[in-house]
Structure 1
Amino acid sequence: MASQYSLKGQVLPEMMYLIWLIVLSNVTLGMQSNDVNCIVYNEEFMECTWSHSEGKPNYTLYHWYYSKPGKECGNYIQQDGYNVGCNFSYNEVSQFQDFHVYINGSTESGNLTSHVQTFQLQNQVKPNPPGNLAVNVTTKNELFLSWDAPMKLSRCLMYGVRYRSNKDTEWQKATVNVQMFNLASVDPEKLYTFQVQSKINDYCGTTNLWSEWSLHVQWGRNETQIENSKEGLHTIITVISLLGLIVLVFTLMRSERLKVIIIPKIPNPGRSFDPLFDNHNGNFQDWLGVPKDTLEGFKSIYHENVCIVSESPSDSTENGDHEGSYEQLGRTAIIGKESTPDNKGEIQPKNTSPATLFSDIAVFVESSRSSLRKRVGNRIDSAH
């Protein structure tokens, strides 16, 4: 009995597999046998997809491995409400086993099905693009390109490399079985661009499914980038200069102190003598702030008798541009102030402008000094 049950357990799965083949071979064919395409992406998950045309029914997918019963897809991929594929997780993918699929759909006229399709999933693997591309160059201008494998089983991968310089129009291509590529000599004046893709090698599967190209990596001198960086730098400097000028103008408008430092006020000499008359009542010595000791030093140290000189009558108005001093009626007047007799017959000085007064004072002082020198010289001569 035990042997009978053992024999039954071995025969039953094979019989179920044969029944599935017989049933599927007798159905009406409404589709091509290559409508389903299964791809294992980087050994992480698998997608089986098919095309769907408008007006055709919604299809369902059944799948099974050898000697196992068939199952309907548990995770459909839909587009516009129609099933266009089935997604399989990593645990549902078994390589190096025959994987069978077929799809069918029902209409009013009957069922539409496809032939059973069989895949060797190790030949349906499409890796991801390699990552972390890096370029190193030796002192002899030998370039080494390296990258990271996209799969854990890196020994099952081969790689395609393409590169070109900014002087080339066509890509140069090469195939390697390791995670490195080298160029014997490169021109540092050129800009090189590199990309890498991967594929399952012949030791682990038979496939033509290459990955997409990786992100590019560049090495060398890019004249365009240098020119763009210079233009960008000039633009930044110009903008900063304009902003600084605007801030300076705004600060000048707001700060009177800074305005005086940068743009000093021009003095007005016409108002320089206002304090002489406003605060000192025309006292020139007090306005200059000359000490009394200094004034005493200018007094003469000798005494001279007064000599009265009579002159012929002249006009009542004296010219203000006479040099030195004059004596009239025994009185000494300062040039620069015109004298007029009052009601009592006394001569009163007339007020003049500050500029004229200052000029007259200078002339008077100079003439007094000259007269003093002459007199001192005469006395010295008479003494001898």
Structure 2
Amino acid sequence: QKDAISTTIINFNNEKMEITWATSKMFPGKNVSFYYTFEEGKQKYRKTCPTYLFTQGYISGCLFKTEGNSLAFYIMNSNGSEVLFSKKLKSDFYIKPNRPENVTFFWKDDTVTVTCNKPERGVRCLRLELQYKSKFDKGWQSRTSKCCRVGEQGFDPRKCYSFRVRLKRIVPSCNVVDYSSDWEAETFWMNSTLLDSCDDEIKAQSNTVILISCMMTLLLMIFILLILLCKWQRLQKSVMPTIPDPKYIFTDLFNDHNGNFQEWIDKTDHVVVQSKLEYEELECIIEEENQQIEKKKSDKQEPREKIFSFSEATENNHPKAAQNACLMPTFNNMVSFAGLQNVVNDDMYVML
């Protein structure tokens, strides 16, 4: 019998037992046999291993059903005539629990509470462990509490966190080996929202940055185009000044005469001459009134003198003639332009 043989013993949730050994070191080039018995059973005879485990073609372990707490097993030679190793143990000190079931996350402000279903056996020996990290954390942060509820606070609602939970056996009061369950599937949360992965947060932020960048680029391009448009309009006005449309200046030519210049000029000639006569008549009347006022003033201050002027002479001798002199302009010449007869007055203006 060899007491120095190293074996690994696992009781899977007190349902199945797995015992393995390093066969290449302990029994190089040899095949062995395995027998076991539970003292609580009615029949305490040795049972042959129902399921062998192999490593490189040699038996390296056995998998069998857990039938009690007190276990004795034997590693023997291939024909079972010699015991190579034997051991007695309490199987419930080697329990590895199953994964937690029905894991639920509760979020409230910055606090997260995780719960799971209670196992059927050994609840007092179990602890629920919660691990979490954000993309800014280098490693996992852990929090352990009694089964089956654990809480932690201080979570930033703007960050995405990875969570995982498992059940652990208490050492050494319940287990001689520190066995924990496998980790429950990792989940990703951000402010009470379940995500497929924390990459979604990065993608969402990237999409937001891209959208903002595109909008800013578009606004900048519109601003530059407006500036260029203003510059172009100024350049166009300086290089190619706008030519006024005559139809907006001579509205009556196009509206009343349909662009007939000869008809329009004949009508305009009568209007201009009449306006000129009315203006000169008004000018003569004003000049006559001013001279009468000056004459009254001179009669009071000095002896009356004879002042000869064209206006007074005509007023004293022929009042109507003076009035006609103001009304009728003196025409000097007639100017012909493109077949049209135009009058030139004393001020050298062409009367159309």
- TM-score w.r.t. structure 2 length? 0.48
How does the TM-score come out when normalised to structure 1? 0.44
